[in-house]
Structure 1
Amino acid sequence: MTYLWSWEKQSPSYGNYGNANQWTVNAGLTSLARESCQNSADARTEDGAELVYTFISLTGDARRRFEEAIGWNELLHPHLLAMVGGAKAAVAAGQISSGLDLLAKSDELLLLRIDDYGCRGLTGPEFPDAMTSEDEYGNLIKLCRLDLWSGKDKAAGGSFGLGKAVYWRFSAIQTVLFNSVLAPEDALQGQVGNRILGVNQGTAHRLNDAIYQGRGYFGAWSEEVGAVRSDWADASVADALCLKRKDDRPGTSALILAFNDPDNPSQPETREARLQRLTKELRDGIEESFWPLITRGRMQVRIEQILDGDLVKSETIDPSGTYPELVNALRRFDSGDVNDELVEPLDVVVRDVTIDVSRRKSDPSHAGFSHPAKLVVTLSDEVKDGLEDRVCLFRRAEMVVQTIDRPYEGRRYHAFVLAGAAIKPGAASEDDLRADDFLRFAEPPAHDRWIPTSGRSQASQVNLNAHYLPPWLPNLRAIEHRVVKELDQLFGAIPSTDTSGPESVLRRLRFLRAGPAGGKGAGAAPRKPLVELVDWRVEHGRWHVAVEIQAKNRPEGWNLSPALVVVGLDGSRTAVQWEGPLESVEGCSVSGSTVTIPASDRGRKVKARFRGVSTADLPIPADLTAIDIVAIPASLATAEARS
């Protein structure tokens, strides 16, 4: 069977210049991990399903063989060039242009294959038509031929049908190939695999005096329909397309061509270093978002690296190494082994947090009711991680939707809220499923919140309007208030919201004059930068500070060497060393203890944030001191150090 690429002729009344759905997906490999893992989790048919991410780096002959298999020179590349030349104002065309330039300059072609096993494959008929009921649409049509169509069962991962766009979001040439194996009960005319189809989400373009629409398909030609259809390929074809599956378990493989994060362009690094970086970013994103799913054994996740056909790395994701407190707490909750109070590290307590579910007006309708979600809290060990002092929120999909950040002085903890069908997986009540649906519809397309915000950071939660009667806004906002109330009762104190600090903690940086005084205006110190201590605490005898600097925007920028000064009860002042290099948070770069704030091309002020930790070798115990921050020009600090 010969495969080909085909784009239909452009409609005279409508032009498609890219699929806007993909731009609803956030940038970064954390977003890729969230959306792709959720898609596979929703398609699971058994616990213990497997998900494998494989970075495939092709160079030399290996790359040429793959390009020949996908018809690169004959069809795909000429059409991509035509898209770039004919749609200079289209965002998708700009991405394709950058992708083609990247491929032309490098010997490497990087692919990312995402395989799931123990999941429903690309089921159902080939084309949506007037003779096919929407109820008969299978996964092939939903994934490859429809936009803004979800059709998922209640309590599934998403409700917008946008998550699938993540595959094209990370293809520099907007092209993805699929291969699927079906379960016997889903067989079509006796066929179960390999079902192969490719999709290019390009732009309307002109080639050889013909005008084509943006979306193109790769597969076998159907004379009956006059369009490309999927094909049941043999193993050798799947292998040539880098889509060979390791066994006959049902599921789907998605191959992202010219893998690239458009918001994090390629860095000057070896391909081995690049693969290591990408692997780490992807692993971190999976662990942070899906530690509940993996902990409960619902899915095993692995990341692999293949260089020119050779498997060079394979690692299984295990969140117990990164988030041991959370993993332990979830396992103890599931087994019913919990404590009455929090006394020792790894103790676990459970509290009810009520979520008010609004009355549903769409089918299946129901009255409003109160759902008892579960807040699980455990004390932390000595090792910090990114989810400490934060409450993870998740439901049946077992993906962390968002976190509530709530630090308490002197108490370090981990916590999570199980809602809906996540409380008793496999034994959820009807009300659990209804609560899960309410929260699913509350999530915006990025699936990153239940609790609404306002202003510029407000995200669309329009699905609630379509399915539920108001008021639902206060119901969702009450979640955070009730979680915080339970935490306050557990830890016995409400954290201060006063960021001004004690009187002895100065809000103004003392900026020493860099040069001698001269004539009028000569050597005058510029207006002092302002500092806001946005966070400060004592841990293990060290001061941990987060500082925000606002300064005049000037062409030469600012080069400062902040020093931490401890102030004793008697007013004595002693400069102390930073334990390690400062950490840039926003708007600055850091080298050791020097903070550089560049000039901005707009605005009268520049703003930056950094963090630092003092040495433990303090002249007075940290909890008996206040602090001051003194900043001098880096050049003067260097000169003083030399003298």
Structure 2
Amino acid sequence: MSPQQGEKFGSWLARQLRRAGMNQAELADELEMTRAAVSAWINDRAEPRPETQRRIAAILGTDSASIYNRTDVAPDLPLQWHHRSAYKDGGREYGNAAAFAFNADLSALAREATQNSLDERYDERKPVRVRYTLEELTGEHLDQFLAALHWDELREHYDEAALLEQKVSRSLKAALRDLDENKSLILLRVDDYNAAGLTGDEYGDGRYTAVVRRQLDSRKESGAKAGGSYGLGKVTLWATSRFNLVLINSTLSESYEGRTERRVVGRVDLPWRKVGNEAYAGPAWFGQADTEPNRQQVSRSWWADEQTVRDLHLDRLSDEPGTSFLIVGAHDASGTAESLKDMHEKLVIALAEGFWAAMVGGNDGGPLLEASVVAMRNGRVVVDEKRVDPHTSHPALSRAFKAYLDRDTVEELTTSTQVARADVTLVVPPRKSDKRKQGGGHHRAVLLVTPAGEDDDPVNQVVYMRGNRMTVMSKRPRELPLGATRFHAVLLAGYATEQTGADVELAEEFLRASEPPEHNDWKHTEELTSVYARGALSRLREFRVEIDKAVRQLVGRRTTVRGEGPAALRELLKLDVFGPAGSRSRRNVPLVEITRGDLDDTGAWNVWVDLKLPESDSTWRLTPIAKFDVRSGGRPVVAWKEIVPRDNCREEDGNLVIEAGVRLASFSGITDPSSHPVHGNLAGLIIDIQKSRGGAL
């Protein structure tokens, strides 16, 4: 066999005869040769001469090149839906339990589907390109699509499944009702380019079966860098469909049956149902009937022609390897995005939030990912294609990561545009299977910090990531010092550091084992305790403590400090955190650490108050009250012109809201001179911190 030939001629010819519905005797008659000669070819005892191979190609409807390359002849067989028969033991499944592992909203879809594309990047010199296309079909466009989908074959199964008194059935019933009443259907196609594609055998191990025929198969041939580990991410595709229906068109990076382009298949996940006298287990597949003797009538993928791909809205923009997933009846289960415009916007935001770092490139190399979203109606663009730009959505963080890639970081922040780097050690515990007790190791993760702008929001959070730079989570460091520089930060671990080595792989595997199915935290999981020695969770906690410590060291206190004013003014400032009762223990109330204030030209007091709070499991709701300390009589309350939350708090209806667990907070305020009973410099100012209704004080 030549390198182009993936198998011997005999096995290839036998398969083509089965697909053509022809036996050995019929081929022998067409060739005017003996059946014994054909049998010898089939059993690899001999090969036909070149001129005979050309005649065989003509009979099979192909060419000599296909025989040489062992390219399967695409049989002209009708498309069908094959429904899995009910289990003979009486077992029933009223839906795919894996679909309930995620919220079926567009943010979860964007996160999981794009992560899978990143994991399957083919040429590492170029980015993976993902394109999300929303399209609403109505009128004849809808009718043509449903006809190509063989909807009439499916409808009776949907109708029966919708009659069941089960959760999935009720959702299907609503979807069918809306389709019948509105005569409208939303499709969402997720295309990736420069990805591996669904390679592999129709039924054996491979990417194809992991996605199309199996559950909880996390076959990631990208190895240690892979973001996924549960085999659940693909379920979000079906969960986003109101009909639990997805069509697939894949261009393969490795040939299968001698072909690479337009490998098409469909799958629907329905609950157990009975149609006529036949009971069905759940899933069904759309394709051509398999001609193999042991799989008669099973629907398998087929090599579609260009027109069929267009009719199914599965056409791709180029012949680059990758896969297109078409979600039929796409919706956002959260209810926050119903129109095409809202769905478009939500996808753009989700892609930016989850993958901004993967879209940043440096001087020595481009980004890992490019992403865009477009919305259409009946083939016409209604919301222009939007390419996600990390430097627009996350400018400070993108600047920080690019500085790291370009080796342009500093050890200490002195200007507002600098990026400081600190290394943080992650101790990786040994695996239980390690024969040596001293297994595991130490990994040097990278913390990047850059100052935030005055209008940035949110701030003072650390974005955590590993592997292919998908955002795992964002956490606020604990015990930030009052008046610390507002900042943005990112923590790079594992392969996100752009480093290689044994410690990087150890860290990657350890952190991946600590992630739940949503990949949005590093915490206790069953895999973590099953695989790693005792103390694994403590190592994660220690890692978080070291990260927070490194942040505090980098941000310190503000370099720009308000002046405390003349001593005469400071003496006019007093503080009262006891409120009207005046008898509570200081251990249970906020304490004022520092108060700074001055009088402006209008006579208004400008004050800055820093609070130290005791431990509390409840949210604090505090009311700052300004009073004048006059020489005689009561202390009149003066109004606030403005209250501005500064650190670790927010303002709601004139109250300060401070989340449970926060120990330090600060705010500033300006009094209203029109409410002053006397000029500000003729009376002392008292800041009274009182509990507001529903507060923890």
Instruction: State the 1:81 CA deviation.
Output: 1.1
Match of 1:418 among 492, 514, 537: 492
Q: Which residue of 2 aligns with 1:5?
A: 81
Q: Which residue of 1 aligns with 2:500?
A: 428
Count of equivalent residues? 527
The 1:70/1:322 distance shift into structure 2, 3 A limit, reads: same
Q: Are 1:250 and 2:326 counterparts?
A: no
User: Counterpart amino acid of 2:262?
Assistant: N
Q: Which residue of 2 aligns with 1:221?
A: 289
Instruction: State the 1:360 CA deviation.
Output: 2.5
Q: Are 1:171 and 2:171 counterparts?
A: no
Identity, in percent, stands at 29
Q: Are 1:482 and 2:546 counterparts?
A: yes
**3-state SS of the aligned residue for 2:241?**
coil
Q: Which residue of 2 aligns with 1:289?
A: 354
Root-mean-square deviation over aligned CA pairs: 3.6
Q: Which entry has the higher C-alpha Rg, 1 or 2?
A: 2
Q: Please show how residues 400-419 of structure 1 align to structure 2 within 5 Å.
A: 400-406=471-477, 408-410=481-483, 411-419=485-493
The 1:329/1:304 distance shift into structure 2, 3 A limit, reads: same
Q: Is the 8 A contact 1:66 1:241 kept in 2?
A: yes
**3-state SS of the aligned residue for 2:243?**
coil
Q: Which residue of 2 aligns with 1:457?
A: none
The 1:278/1:575 distance shift into structure 2, 3 A limit, reads: farther
Alpha-carbon separation, structure 1, partners of 2:87 and 2:213: 17
The 1:80/1:117 distance shift into structure 2, 3 A limit, reads: same
User: Counterpart amino acid of 2:489?
Assistant: A
Instruction: State the 1:572 CA deviation.
Output: 5.1
Q: Deviations over 1:219-269 (max 9, x none)?
A: 1111321200011101111111111001100000011111112332775xx
Q: Deviations over 1:90-137 (max 9, x none)?
A: x22222222222222323211111000000101101114xxxxxxxx1
The 1:207/1:542 distance shift into structure 2, 3 A limit, reads: farther
Q: Deviations over 1:481-526 (max 9, x none)?
A: 11111122233479xxxxxxx8548699xxxxxxxxxxxxxxxxxx
Q: Is the 8 A contact 2:446 2:492 kept in 1?
A: yes
Alpha-carbon separation, structure 2, partners of 1:288 and 1:211: 44
Q: Is the 8 A contact 2:94 2:282 kept in 1?
A: yes
Instruction: State the 1:385 CA deviation.
Output: 2.6
Q: Deviations over 1:168-207 (max 9, x none)?
A: 1111111111110012xx1012211101111111111000
Alpha-carbon separation, structure 1, partners of 2:608 and 2:624: 11
Q: Which residue of 2 aligns with 1:567?
A: 626
Match of 1:200 among 253, 256, 268: 268
Q: Is the 8 A contact 2:427 2:441 kept in 1?
A: yes
Instruction: State the 1:331 CA deviation.
Output: 0.6
Q: Deviations over 1:375-400 (max 9, x none)?
A: 111111222133x2110111112011
Larger RCO: Structure 1 or Structure 2 (Cα < 8 Å, ≥ 6 residues apart)?
1
Q: Which residue of 2 aligns with 1:451?
A: 523
User: Counterpart amino acid of 2:522?
Assistant: W
Alpha-carbon separation, structure 2, partners of 1:26 and 1:505: 46
Q: Is the 8 A contact 1:565 1:576 kept in 2?
A: no
The 1:208/1:579 distance shift into structure 2, 3 A limit, reads: farther
Match of 2:173 among 89, 93, 97: 97
Q: Which residue of 2 aligns with 1:150?
A: 218
Q: Please show how residues 227-266 of structure 1 align to structure 2 within 5 Å.
A: 227-264=298-335
Match of 1:619 among 661, 672, 676: 672
The 1:167/1:617 distance shift into structure 2, 3 A limit, reads: same
The 1:627/1:104 distance shift into structure 2, 3 A limit, reads: farther
Unaligned 5+ residue runs, structure 2? Answer: 1-76, 362-366, 559-574, 582-588, 597-605, 611-620, 630-634, 656-665, 674-679
Q: Please show how residues 17-32 of structure 1 align to structure 2 within 5 Å.
A: 17-32=94-109
User: Counterpart amino acid of 1:287?
Assistant: A
Q: Which residue of 1 aligns with 2:380?
A: 310
Unaligned 5+ residue runs, structure 1? Answer: 129-136, 268-273, 453-460, 495-501, 509-530, 546-561, 596-612, 633-643
Q: Which residue of 2 aligns with 1:81?
A: 159
Q: Which residue of 2 aligns with 1:39?
A: 116
Q: Deviations over 1:399-420 (max 9, x none)?
A: 1111221355432100011111
Match of 1:106 among 165, 177, 182: 182
User: Counterpart amino acid of 2:626?
Assistant: V
Q: Is the 8 A contact 1:179 1:197 kept in 2?
A: yes
Q: Which residue of 1 aligns with 2:14?
A: none
**3-state SS of the aligned residue for 1:258?**
strand
Alpha-carbon separation, structure 1, partners of 2:171 and 2:347: 22
Alpha-carbon separation, structure 2, partners of 1:372 and 1:403: 20
Alpha-carbon separation, structure 1, partners of 2:185 and 2:299: 26
Instruction: State the 1:566 CA deviation.
Output: 4.7
User: Counterpart amino acid of 1:439?
Assistant: L
Q: Deviations over 1:540-578 (max 9, x none)?
A: x89999xxxxxxxxxxxxxxxx99765157465333467
Q: Is the 8 A contact 2:641 2:672 kept in 1?
A: no
Q: Which residue of 2 aligns with 1:347?
A: 418
Q: Which residue of 2 aligns with 1:522?
A: none
TM-score (norm 2): 0.69
Q: Deviations over 1:287-331 (max 9, x none)?
A: 111111111310100001111111231010002112111001101
Q: Please show how residues 332-343 of structure 1 align to structure 2 within 5 Å.
A: 332-343=403-414
Q: Are 1:471 and 2:535 counterparts?
A: yes
Match of 2:341 among 270, 273, 276: 276
Alpha-carbon separation, structure 2, partners of 1:430 and 1:82: 55
Alpha-carbon separation, structure 2, partners of 1:163 and 1:5: 25
Instruction: State the 1:19 CA deviation.
Output: 1.0
**3-state SS of the aligned residue for 1:261?**
coil
Q: Which residue of 2 aligns with 1:54?
A: 133
Q: Deviations over 1:422-454 (max 9, x none)?
A: 112xx51122122111111111111011134xx
Q: Is the 8 A contact 2:116 2:227 kept in 1?
A: yes
TM-score (norm 1): 0.75
Q: Are 1:301 and 2:371 counterparts?
A: yes
The 1:104/1:370 distance shift into structure 2, 3 A limit, reads: same
User: Counterpart amino acid of 1:63?
Assistant: L
The 1:88/1:319 distance shift into structure 2, 3 A limit, reads: same
Q: Deviations over 1:264-289 (max 9, x none)?
A: 2775xxxxxx1121112111111111
User: Counterpart amino acid of 2:141?
Assistant: A
Q: Is the 8 A contact 1:401 1:447 kept in 2?
A: yes
Q: Which residue of 1 aligns with 2:661?
A: none
Q: Is the 8 A contact 1:155 1:440 kept in 2?
A: no
